[in-house]
A and B are shown apart, each in its own frame.
Chain A
Amino acid sequence: MPILKTEKLTKKFGGLVAVNNIDFEVNENEIVGIIGSNGAGKTTLFNCISGNLKSTSGKVIFNNKDITSLKPYEIAELGLARTFQIVRPFANKSVLYNVMVGALLRTNQKSEAIERAKEIIDFLDLSNKTDVLAKNLTLPERKRLELARALATRPVLLMLDEVMAGLRPAEIQDMLKIIEKINKQGIAIVIIEHIMQVIMSVSNRIYCMNFGEKIASGTPQEVIKDTHVVKAYLGDEFDIPEN
């Protein structure tokens, strides 16, 4: 049963159709990847789902509830969390503070929020940075903090917008492990990425977008063989060698 579903979701900026008639589904406990080149409309699709942008037409259904016109904070409360492509921690606050803000969504008790925040900080290997200000963290740490904060809201579905971008290969491997660990806790994950190898290894299913349209979907092996995908990535002249 799909936990998240979009029906004919469309977003237009003036004359530009950034997201065009997208049908998209995420099942419980699944890791779904969205790939596509720059400007394909991946982040816009995210923003429409999470309520940061108002979609022009179409529907978003989360846990059998129509969330199309809900505000971002209402959607977060229903259990759909997201991270931002450009990390936006509360820079002048400590790591603990950042994660606590997330944890306070599910409790009014500060002591409970601290406990929960510390668990997650531990889980993401940030425990030696608990009292460091967010602005003094390295990029990989900031990406983990962004993840920690979203996790603290106890989501059922987590949407990650390019959490790997700017990371070194070894750091990417760490991040992949973390994502799998999160998924094992029963949290479904949608992940945007344009590094193919990364997303291939971790996703159960992949959607490929180009110029706002969905051009392919399926298992990683299916998608990588799709002619449209190859053309979108490598150009129109490229033909797949038949074997």
Chain B
Amino acid sequence: MGLSEKQIKIILLIFSTITVFLIPVFIKNESYIQIFIVVLFFMYLTTAWNFVGGFAGVLPLGHAAFVAIGAYTSTIMFMQYHISPWIGMFAGGIFAAIISVIIGLPTLKLRGAYFSLATIAFAGGIKVLIENIDAIGTINVGGPRGILIEYTGDSLVNFMWFSKVPYYYIILTMVIILLLITAFMMKSKIGYYLTAGGEDPEAAESLGINVTKYKLIAMAISAFFTAMAGSFYAQWIFYISPQSVGNMNLSFEIAFIAIIGGRGTILGPILGALLLKLLEEFTRTYIGSALPGLHLFILGLVLVLVMIYQPRGIQESAVKLSKKVMKRIRKKI
């Protein structure tokens, strides 16, 4: 009876962190690593989305635009000015944050579905814009063809490796950092003010909270980190196009994962991405060949079931389950 619940939690956390870091050591098959990267990539995107879509209580459906801004900024800087994508990553983030504030100023005052529609329109606009620009002056944007990143050998400065394993570690680190930031923010004044404004804007304002300001802050943070994922994507896939990074499906998928996992929670994006992306990848591999399209059907079924039985996301029952398990463990010790 020596361990408290908190101590058990910390031990479990350390244990699982070590496990995910060791995955590439034991799993040598690169296509599995690739799947894990996809899962982590969406975990990261959804966690970034969660700042505004979860805690601030609005439903943005245009985050693909920020992915595109990040991807294009770093790629153009890298391919044409030979600036390291690491720097491009931050430049893209700052650029996206500025754009998000410009977009957020008029739209964040809109309530409910109107805000969502505005963000869809904005993201659609960005995509069409990129598709129709071949070049701005001497800057080659590529239009609908996109931009190919040439592989010039493994290099940390150039954010470029032949093996997928380094990408696994990079995105894993990004996820962990972002989760830590989320956890820290939730416990700070900003976190309290964000959730309060999200739950009831009018009541929050009467308590002295400038709701729009805090939503703008959340939007900027969210856009910043989302754009960094765009830069990561470009260096990981070696190719970006309006179709791959600016697609509306991407925006929707992020929101889906958050809703399935549980909006406004730290655990939600983790569980949502694990469930949805793993399910998608494996059903596509194993069932997709037997009956094309069946995997999409299964995915749809899962969505409907979760929404009916777990409207607050699967994190709710996961937390309940873990509490039960925790009790058992404590009894055994």
User: Do these two chains interact?
Assistant: yes
A50: CB under 8 A from chain B?
yes
A131 to chain B, nearest CB (A): 15
Give the residues in chain B near A150, CB-CB below 8 Å. 206-207
- The reply to whether A73 and B199 form a contact with Cβ atoms under 8 Å apart is no
Give the residues in chain A near B204, CB-CB below 8 Å. 101
| CB contact list, A108-137 vs B, under 8 A | 108, 110
- Provide the bound-state CA to CA distance between A110 and B193, in Å: 12
Give the residues in chain B near A104, CB-CB below 8 Å. 189, 192-193
- The reply to whether B192 and A73 form a contact with Cβ atoms under 8 Å apart is no
- The reply to whether B207 and A149 form a contact with Cβ atoms under 8 Å apart is yes
- Provide the bound-state CA to CA distance between A100 and B189, in Å: 10
Contacts A90-B196, A91-B199, A92-B199; A76 near B189 (Cβ below 8 A): no
Give the residues in chain A near B211, CB-CB below 8 Å. 73
Beta-carbon nearest neighbor of B203 in chain A: A88
A159 to chain B, nearest CB (A): 10
A82: CB under 8 A from chain B?
yes
Give the residues in chain A near B193, CB-CB below 8 Å. 101, 104
Beta-carbon nearest neighbor of B312 in chain A: A92
- The reply to whether A88 and B205 form a contact with Cβ atoms under 8 Å apart is no
- The reply to whether B207 and A105 form a contact with Cβ atoms under 8 Å apart is yes
Contacts A73-B208, A76-B208, A101-B193; A52 near B187 (Cβ below 8 A): no
Which of A73, A88, A97, A100 contacts B209, CB < 8 Å? A73
- The reply to whether B207 and A84 form a contact with Cβ atoms under 8 Å apart is no
- The reply to whether A52 and B202 form a contact with Cβ atoms under 8 Å apart is yes
- The reply to whether A82 and B206 form a contact with Cβ atoms under 8 Å apart is yes
- The reply to whether B188 and A110 form a contact with Cβ atoms under 8 Å apart is yes
- The reply to whether B206 and A101 form a contact with Cβ atoms under 8 Å apart is no
Contacts A101-B192, A101-B196, A110-B187; A88 near B208 (Cβ below 8 A): no
Contact with A along B193-220 (1 / 0, CB 8 A): 1011001101111111111000000000
Contacts A73-B208, A149-B207, A153-B207; A90 near B199 (Cβ below 8 A): yes
Contacts A73-B211, A90-B195, A90-B200; A110 near B189 (Cβ below 8 A): yes
Contacts A90-B203, A92-B199, A93-B199; A100 near B192 (Cβ below 8 A): yes
Give the residues in chain B near A100, CB-CB below 8 Å. 192
- The reply to whether B189 and A71 form a contact with Cβ atoms under 8 Å apart is no
- Provide the bound-state CA to CA distance between A91 and B200, in Å: 9
A81: CB under 8 A from chain B?
yes
Give the residues in chain B near A93, CB-CB below 8 Å. 195, 199
Give the residues in chain A near B189, CB-CB below 8 Å. 104, 108, 110
Which of A84, A89, A90, A97 contacts B206, CB < 8 Å? A84
A33: CB under 8 A from chain B?
no
- Provide the bound-state CA to CA distance between A100 and B191, in Å: 12
- Provide the bound-state CA to CA distance between A100 and B193, in Å: 10
Give the residues in chain B near A50, CB-CB below 8 Å. 206
- The reply to whether A72 and B192 form a contact with Cβ atoms under 8 Å apart is no
A77: CB under 8 A from chain B?
yes
- Provide the bound-state CA to CA distance between A41 and B196, in Å: 29
- The reply to whether A72 and B206 form a contact with Cβ atoms under 8 Å apart is yes
Beta-carbon nearest neighbor of B196 in chain A: A101
Give the residues in chain B near A153, CB-CB below 8 Å. 207-208
- Provide the bound-state CA to CA distance between A39 and B187, in Å: 42
- The reply to whether A76 and B200 form a contact with Cβ atoms under 8 Å apart is no
Give the residues in chain B near A72, CB-CB below 8 Å. 202, 205-206
Beta-carbon nearest neighbor of B207 in chain A: A102
- Provide the bound-state CA to CA distance between A72 and B195, in Å: 18
- Provide the bound-state CA to CA distance between A84 and B264, in Å: 26
- The reply to whether A71 and B195 form a contact with Cβ atoms under 8 Å apart is no
- 22 residue pairs bridging A and B, Cβ less than 8 Å apart: A50-B206, A52-B202, A71-B210, A73-B206, A73-B207, A73-B210, A73-B211, A81-B206, A81-B207, A82-B206, A84-B202, A84-B206, A90-B195, A100-B192, A101-B204, A102-B208, A105-B208, A108-B189, A110-B189, A150-B206, A150-B207, A152-B207
New A-B pairs, 10, CB < 8 Å, besides A88-B202, A101-B192: A52-B205, A72-B205, A72-B206, A76-B207, A82-B206, A84-B206, A93-B195, A102-B208, A104-B192, A150-B206
